[in-house]
């Protein structure tokens, strides 16, 4: 977790300050409730009806666990006796409603304070710093020094490992500013979500654009302003005959392109020129057999891959727009005893699948298409280590790097070409700009794009059981082979998303080595690290529970004082006597109390009370029924108004 340091209060200080404060808060709350109690006891309509119930108010018993336990036992006893006695009335021996109300108020607050401590938990975190970090990836000056034919190989290697599509170590792909809940695996999360959605809808009417920023590879999490690549990518499964724009396909062995001269006829005639000059045009056909399936695929890009192609060193060409299209055909080689899996059996009912018969091997193939539209550019953006997002992107071209053509091989030309060209090379293993055979030999089983897509999407091979062949088969038994699963249109689309992500990562990963970047008067780029800090996270109890309890406590505590007459502005003489004071009162002034000759406070029979220091008479002179006996610091006189509350 990344947090900000507050100028005055750190999370740790806030947590321990509340921990210490909560010790005193309980007593302060009890003091406030006792004031309400003192006022209520002076009003006949709220005061206890007899001395026994009055004694429950001694020593603030409504705020102690022991008193709550006593009342709970009395309640059980009362219920038990009521059930046993049936018709005979049972007297309640517990406190009155005033005490119950105060006990409930105390219980709510006593519960809220401990719960508030459980609603937050101190934890270790990170905070932004101004410490420049080590950058291991490329920068604006070294970006174009990378050999374009090296990047597809690096990306293809990572793609085939089937790992989450995210950079190595602390480097990440950044989401646009405002994107909620961005994790360090943001891109992988989105493409997996897209994959699951397409499985539920058979890829119908689903099209989304993913925007992300790939900054340089770093040694630790970073924030600041970085130079990198901004990419918008949208891939979706399509019908191989109806929805492609770079390819015109009418059958597995009949296709052309509106942009390029190579056609299916070049391959059907056995002409070797398409393979020997595969790096000239961004259109490639491949076929193969092994690991259970026979396959054919056709891929095309819309950008030229000869003469250096389109690059990121010319700002007038930025952003670079384009597309890549793929048609994948799959079939099971029944002659070798392979058994079609469940995915292959279900493909004919898929709306984006087309079947085509190939007389060359007497097999029926099932084909699907994938079209990816991409926009890419390079420039500077502000990246956040807190939200994993970027903002304020400004286009900035890469520094051009001059080639010495006489000193280097054509296969290692420096200069990063357009993203879609790199993806084309990574999938087909074609050397960009090189008139020669692809890296992947035609007899290789695992080097091809079909097998790579299977690995990238975690295709799990299985060993098919040996069983009797159905009637009419060329072999007696079938099975007993290791087979990789059929790739559905949704999985093929996911594989292309992952390949685009890996290529974007690779372009920013290979750099000059250890270097730092700090802004100055003419240079606004700079990346900084994080440092350890403390933070408070959500505890075992939700803060909403604590807030609800506190609101309930405030309502039942404040509303009676506002709504009941005489509480808000009413006068009280003093707090309720505690047990020790009551004992001293009875022991030291028993003679004067027994000397009372009248129960009327305004009568002459109460003259003996004048001898007791601190005794007071009625609250308002001349009003009968308002008299009360309490304690004050001054000696009481009859018919004197007292408002002092000690």
32-81 confidence digits (pLDDT tens): 677 677 777 766 677 676 667 777 777 677 877 888 888 888 888 888 88
Say whether both 393 and 371 belong to one domain.
yes
Say whether both 582 and 440 belong to one domain.
no
In a domain, 535, yes or no: no
What's the pLDDT at 255? 93
Say whether both 558 and 440 belong to one domain.
no
Distance set, CA 640 to CA 183, 577, 618, 625, 645 (Å): 74, 22, 7, 15, 15
In a domain, 533, yes or no: no
pLDDT tens-digit profile of 228-246?
999 999 999 999 999 999 9
pLDDT tens-digit profile of 431-475?
887 777 788 766 677 888 999 999 999 988 888 778 777 776 667
In a domain, 355, yes or no: yes
Residues with Cβ within 8 Å of 302's Cβ and at least 6 positions away in sequence, in order, are 246, 259, 282, 322, 323, 324, 420
Say whether both 163 and 64 belong to one domain.
no
| Stronger pLDDT, 587 or 381, i.e. the higher one | 381
Say whether both 323 and 433 belong to one domain.
yes
Share of the chain above pLDDT 70, in %: 72
Say whether both 450 and 556 belong to one domain.
no
Task: Please state whether beta strands 283-290 and 254-256 pair in parallel, antiparallel, or not at all (unpaired).
Answer: unpaired
Task: Please state whether beta strands 467-468 and 389-395 pair in parallel, antiparallel, or not at all (unpaired).
Answer: unpaired
Q: Is the pLDDT of residue 640 over 50?
A: no
> What secondary structure letter does DSSP report for 422?
H
Other CB atoms within 10 A of residue 216 CB: 26
For residues 400-410, one letter each, b for 16 or more C-beta atoms within 10 angstroms of the residue's C-beta and e for the rest, the string is: ebeeeeeeeee
Contact 251, 356 (CB under 8 A): yes
Say whether both 293 and 252 belong to one domain.
yes
Say whether both 551 and 621 belong to one domain.
no
Out of 532, 553, 570, a domain closes at: 570
Per the structure, the count of domains in the chain is 3
Q: Which pLDDT band holds residue 414 (cuts at 50, 70, 90)?
A: low
Out of 551, 570, 589, a domain closes at: 570
pLDDT tens-digit profile of 595-628?
666 555 555 666 665 555 544 444 444 444 434 4
Q: Please report the DSSP string for 543-609 in residue order.
A: HHHHHHHHHHHHHHHHHHHHHSTTTSS-----PPP-HHHHHHHHHHSHHHHHT---S-TTSGGGGGG
* Partner residues linked to 92 by β-bridges: none
What's the pLDDT at 584? 52
Element (H, E) at 85: helix 65-85
Say whether both 233 and 369 belong to one domain.
yes
pLDDT tens-digit profile of 268-305?
765 556 666 677 788 998 888 877 788 999 999 998 77
What's the pLDDT at 457? 94
In a domain, 377, yes or no: yes
Other CB atoms within 10 A of residue 466 CB: 11
| Stronger pLDDT, 16 or 117, i.e. the higher one | 117
pLDDT tens-digit profile of 303-360?
877 765 678 888 888 899 999 999 999 998 776 677 888 898 899 999 999 999 988 8
In a domain, 528, yes or no: no
d(Cα 192, Cα 218) in Å, to the nearest integer? 25
Residues with Cβ within 8 Å of 56's Cβ and at least 6 positions away in sequence, in order, are 48, 62, 67, 94, 95, 96, 99
d(Cα 148, Cα 510) in Å, to the nearest integer? 12
Question: 0.85 exceeded by the pTM?
Answer: no
Mean pLDDT computed over 247-265: 90
Say whether both 103 and 198 belong to one domain.
no
In a domain, 128, yes or no: no
d(Cα 441, Cα 455) in Å, to the nearest integer? 18
Query: Which residue is associated with the tokens 């405002």?
Result: 178
Share of the chain above pLDDT 90, in %: 26
Residue 79 tokens, joined: 């219920």
Angle of the 489-509 helix axis to the 186-201 helix axis, nearest 10: 170
pLDDT, mean over the chain: 78
d(Cα 459, Cα 631) in Å, to the nearest integer? 87
Q: Is the pLDDT of residue 511 over 80?
A: no
Say whether both 194 and 216 belong to one domain.
yes
What's the pLDDT at 424? 93
In a domain, 84, yes or no: yes
Q: Which pLDDT band holds residue 375 (cuts at 50, 70, 90)?
A: very high
Say whether both 106 and 147 belong to one domain.
no
In a domain, 527, yes or no: no
What's the pLDDT at 80? 84
Full residue range of the structural domain in which residue 403 is found: 136-515
Distance set, CA 193 to CA 189, 197, 198 (Å): 6, 6, 9
């Amino acid at each position: 977790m990344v947090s900000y340091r507050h100028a005055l209060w750190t999370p740790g200080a806030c947590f321990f300050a509340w921990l210490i404060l909560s010790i005193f808060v309980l007593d302060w709350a009890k003091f406030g409730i006792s004031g309400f109690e003192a006022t209520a006891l002076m009003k006949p309509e709220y005061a206890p009806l007899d001395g026994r119930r009055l004694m429950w108010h001694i020593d603030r018993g409504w705020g102690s666990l022991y008193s709550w336990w006593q009342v709970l036992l009395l309640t059980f006893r009362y219920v038990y006796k009521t059930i046993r006695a049936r018709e005979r009335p049972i007297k309640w021996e517990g406190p009155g409603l005033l005490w119950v109300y105060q006990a409930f108020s105390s219980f709510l607050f006593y519960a809220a304070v401990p719960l508030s401590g459980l609603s937050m938990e101190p934890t270790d975190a990170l905070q932004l710093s101004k410490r420049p970090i080590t950058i291991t990836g490329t920068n604006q000056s070294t970006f174009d020094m990378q050999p374009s034919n090296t990047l597809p190989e690096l990306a293809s290697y990572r793609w085939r490992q089937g790992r989450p599509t995210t950079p190595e170590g602390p480097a990440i792909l950044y989401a646009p500013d405002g994107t909620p809940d961005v994790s360090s695996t943001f891109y992988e999360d989105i493409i997996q979500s897209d994959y699951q959605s397409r499985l539920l809808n058979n890829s119908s009417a689903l099209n989304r654009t993913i925007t992300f920023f790939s900054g340089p590879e770093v040694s630790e999490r970073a924030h600041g302003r970085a130079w990198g690549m901004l990419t918008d990518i949208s891939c979706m499964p399509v019908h191989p005959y109806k929805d492609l724009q770079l390819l015109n396909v009418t059958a597995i062995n009949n296709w052309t392109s509106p942009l390029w001269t190579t056609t299916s006829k070049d391959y059907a005639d056995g002409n070797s020129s398409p393979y020997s000059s595969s790096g000239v045009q961004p259109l490639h056909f491949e076929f193969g057999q092994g690991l259970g399936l026979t396959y054919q695929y056709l891929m095309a890009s819309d950008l030229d891959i000869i003469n250096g192609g389109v690059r990121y060193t010319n700002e007038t060409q930025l952003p670079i727009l384009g597309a890549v299209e793929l048609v994948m055909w799959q079939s099971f080689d029944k002659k070798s005893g392979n058994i079609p899996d469940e995915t292959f059996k279900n493909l004919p009912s898929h709306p984006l699948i087309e079947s085509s018969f190939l007389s060359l091997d007497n097999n029926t193939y099932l084909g699907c298409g994938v079209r990816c539209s991409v926009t890419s550019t390079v420039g500077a953006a502000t990246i956040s280590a807190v939200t994993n997002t970027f903002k304020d992107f400004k286009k900035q071209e890469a520094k051009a790097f001059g080639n010495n053509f006489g000193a280097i091989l054509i296969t290692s030309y420096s200069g990063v070409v357009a993203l879609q060209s790199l993806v084309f090379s990574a999938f087909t293993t074609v050397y960009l700009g090189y008139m020669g055979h692809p890296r992947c030999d035609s007899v290789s089983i695992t080097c091809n794009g079909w097998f790579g897509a299977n690995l990238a999407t975690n295709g799990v091979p299985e060993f098919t059981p040996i069983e009797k062949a159905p009637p009419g088969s060329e072999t007696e038994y079938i099975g007993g082979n290791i087979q990789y699963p059929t790739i559905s249109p949704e999985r093929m689309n996911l594989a292309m998303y992952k390949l685009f992500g890996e290529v974007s990562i690779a372009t920013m990963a290979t750099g000059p080595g250890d270097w730092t970047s700090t802004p100055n008067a003419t240079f606004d780029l700079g990346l900084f690290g994080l440092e350890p800090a403390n933070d408070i996270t959500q505890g075992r109890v939700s803060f909403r529970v604590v807030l609800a309890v506190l609101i309930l406590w405030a309502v039942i505590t404040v509303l009676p004082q506002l709504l009941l007459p005489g509480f808000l502005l009413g006068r009280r003489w003093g707090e309720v006597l505690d047990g020790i004071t009551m004992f001293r009162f009875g022991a030291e002034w028993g003679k004067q109390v027994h000397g009372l000759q009248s129960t009327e406070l305004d009568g002459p029979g109460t003259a003996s009370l004048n001898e007791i220091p601190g005794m007071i008479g009625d609250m308002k002179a001349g009003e009968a029924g308002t008299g009360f006996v309490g304690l004050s610091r001054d000696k009481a006189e009859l018919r004197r108004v007292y408002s002092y509350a000690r």
